[in-house]
Structure 1
């Protein structure tokens, strides 16, 4: 389907068809979820041989398995006999995966290891070597984050992430002990198109004082007078909206402490930041060590991964049709954090962005309404706009990307829809442009 007229990045216009069309959605599964590198699992979730984690790549059910040699492989969760799923649990450890329909059994390396009545029913003519689990074409890791890709010839994961690694490392590589996801998977089904929550988090500081006004008042330690309802005194220079990074984005404050403003008792976190900041500066340099580590940062890896150092939630959106998603969330910690801080992070993540969190219910209602309002005959003919602060971006010393000043902007959303359109128009990776705008050489860091 031709999408050239559905998004206009010069004006910030989007057609509502991109949120409701079944035809477009099927094209997204092929050209975005079937082509891009997609987050599968954090290595902390499958530490031992035989550990597995069940997830999705688009709508494809996938099992990610730690092998005996420590490597990680991923396979379609589908028996090669009659297509039934072979794994029903979310995670665990297994020596084999057995289909409960006809009993075909597969080893953790994907090979077909046992077939009931193989000699009697198949007369010894079954070629097991051709009937192993279908592997995900490529699996790669970046500092604990494991991604998979169905495409036969994609760019490397390192190239795909590009200059977004500058921001990723603020969580992944700030401390020598590495990182983990903690708690069980918090799953929520929302009646929303998958693109709407991504654009909401990737750059929409505009909605904070309106959609979350009640939640902000409930958090007594929080002082966000500049984002009160009406935005009459909004500090437009309090952060950065960063895009132009191969479709990835960051929305960040610059004070080094505001990420913990939402915590009921922030002092232990602030003490942790103060004590460890010198070694973080040594590892990541002054820009990231002083201005970013400890700040509230919204990081988006195109198409459907987002995580927020500071508020410390980590999330992936699994599409389930043009009008529904399954949203998976975890709490994220640095392994060097004391146990009491890790526990406080998990508690606060559940309080703010958990299944019954103060903020998620606000967002869920708005995103579902935006999706529903794109389905009517007349409303589907209307356009929507992300046209705030057009043509007001450029370089900033010490940072990569095309940057707009402030947290209240629609700069990042325009880049998100630009990247969506680029993938949807391209027949293969050769037709997808690569751009790391205003690339900078990061300050020298030490080895982890």
Structure 2
């Protein structure tokens, strides 16, 4: 029996390397994290019409997400209930029904079994088709365009699961009328890494930026990285915030309202968009978020495996494929109110930096694969790794939910990520999982217009 209390200690500041390589740990993750938490499925912009479907994964479970005739959304396991064949092989499309290649069983977009070949002759009209519909994901819900699913019917609602993280998500999802969208095709990359490592790399690791990506910063000379420190020679701690204590969710944020777009090549049009639409953002979000967060570089992490980054403008989900392998899926993200030329520029920049051939992703992929590989040996998996930078230096800030540390270099968010991982792994069910939104903004009016 694995001692999960011993895999993470000191309030998340130490991790035993075993957690990145042990198949038994991974199997428990499939049950208690991917089988329990709310997982991102699709953006509503990707399935706009009835019959539109999108194929994705919840942990290692293959799932079909389908827009219904009444415009609601359902999700089903992508497996035929007859002999278990994969039902749909397409990544996305529009369908009136899904037919199995093996024996021809066909299912409607509502999941009902509608046709069984030789039903009269071979089954003697005795099969009860109502018993063999597709297996539906227990809970499906949407938050301002982001669609999530959950296998645990006893899990809290999506709204409660997100908690005060919604206040930060709205900086992207609700700053402008019309909301957001994902553009371009799904960019799929296979990486030989444990799924937790890329999540913690993005959720709070500003420490690696000036070192691991120094070469990429110099190579992409069309982009202005003057605000970053190549080689980690120095860092301006007051330039941002690390925000956690939100049930495992976290935010890494600059707070100047423009830095997310300042490093774009020929950025005058994008900065003009921010200037022209700033009053609307303030009206919808309040002055603090509208002035300081909208337009800043934000790294938003929804536990366990969804991240999206306004500024760099990509949304990403990490699908586990074993303790040492993932499929990383990425899209460019835009506000619907943006002009077409800005949307195209965002897509082009995302592909240059964090796409399948992106310079920054190549840096991260190499490092994270090595961290995973170096955790597999008999002796090395007994060692610890550490996220103990700037412990005990966080607290409340007026008007901002969460436990907050100064700066984007602190390892603060990683500690909370591993703390939440441990809480789920040790809990038999949701009743044993602690819930906390530290320094919560309780008043709904304050949540909408603080500042």
State the TM-score, normalized to the length of structure 2. Answer: 0.97
Q: Which runs of 5+ in 2 are unaligned?
A: none
In the TM superposition, 1:119-130 aligns within 5 A as 119-130=120-131
- 1:445 Cα deviation (Å)? 4.3
Please give the alpha-carbon distance, in whole angstroms, between the structure 2 residues aligned to 1:56 and 1:161: 20
Give the aligned partner of residue 292 of structure 1.
293
Distance 1:145 1:11, change over 3 A: closer
In the TM superposition, 1:130-169 aligns within 5 A as 130-169=131-170
In the TM superposition, 1:421-432 aligns within 5 A as 421-432=422-433
Give the aligned partner of residue 326 of structure 2.
325
Query: CA contact under 8 A between 2:167 and 2:447: conserved in structure 1?
Result: no
> Match of 1:255, SS?
coil
Give the aligned partner of residue 71 of structure 1.
72
Give the aligned partner of residue 52 of structure 2.
51
- 1:226 Cα deviation (Å)? 4.9
> Match of 1:237, SS?
helix
**Residue-by-residue CA offset, 1:146-171 (whole Å, 9 max, x unaligned):** 00000021100000000101110000
Query: CA contact under 8 A between 1:219 and 1:264: conserved in structure 2?
Result: no
Give the aligned partner of residue 353 of structure 1.
354
Query: CA contact under 8 A between 1:9 and 1:418: conserved in structure 2?
Result: no
Query: CA contact under 8 A between 2:241 and 2:407: conserved in structure 1?
Result: yes
In the TM superposition, 1:284-433 aligns within 5 A as 284-433=285-434
- 1:262 Cα deviation (Å)? 3.3
> Match of 1:183, SS?
strand
In the TM superposition, 1:166-181 aligns within 5 A as 166-181=167-182
- 1:358 Cα deviation (Å)? 1.4
**Residue-by-residue CA offset, 1:217-272 (whole Å, 9 max, x unaligned):** 1233423455220x232101110000000100000000100101331121111000
- 1:288 Cα deviation (Å)? 0.5
Give the aligned partner of residue 228 of structure 1.
230
Point out the more displaced range, 213-222 or 419-428.
213-222
- 1:197 Cα deviation (Å)? 0.1
Give the aligned partner of residue 113 of structure 1.
114
Query: CA contact under 8 A between 1:226 and 1:235: conserved in structure 2?
Result: no
Give the aligned partner of residue 247 of structure 2.
246
> Match of 1:391, SS?
coil
Please give the alpha-carbon distance, in whole angstroms, between the structure 1 residues aligned to 2:156 and 2:163: 10
- 1:444 Cα deviation (Å)? 6.5
> Match of 2:238, SS?
coil
Query: CA contact under 8 A between 2:26 and 2:323: conserved in structure 1?
Result: yes
Give the aligned partner of residue 39 of structure 1.
40
Please give the alpha-carbon distance, in whole angstroms, between the structure 2 residues aligned to 1:202 and 1:344: 25
Distance 1:226 1:73, change over 3 A: closer
Please give the alpha-carbon distance, in whole angstroms, between the structure 1 residues aligned to 2:430 and 2:347: 39
Give the aligned partner of residue 205 of structure 1.
206
Query: CA contact under 8 A between 1:110 and 1:132: conserved in structure 2?
Result: yes
Please give the alpha-carbon distance, in whole angstroms, between the structure 1 residues aligned to 2:124 and 2:253: 64
Please give the alpha-carbon distance, in whole angstroms, between the structure 2 residues aligned to 1:355 and 1:16: 28
> Match of 1:119, SS?
coil
Query: CA contact under 8 A between 2:262 and 2:271: conserved in structure 1?
Result: no
**Residue-by-residue CA offset, 1:379-429 (whole Å, 9 max, x unaligned):** 112110000001110011121100000000100000000000000000000
Distance 1:444 1:163, change over 3 A: closer
Q: What's the Cα RMSD here?
A: 1.1
- 1:118 Cα deviation (Å)? 0.7
**Residue-by-residue CA offset, 1:182-215 (whole Å, 9 max, x unaligned):** 0000000000000000000000000000000011
Please give the alpha-carbon distance, in whole angstroms, between the structure 2 residues aligned to 1:225 and 1:177: 31
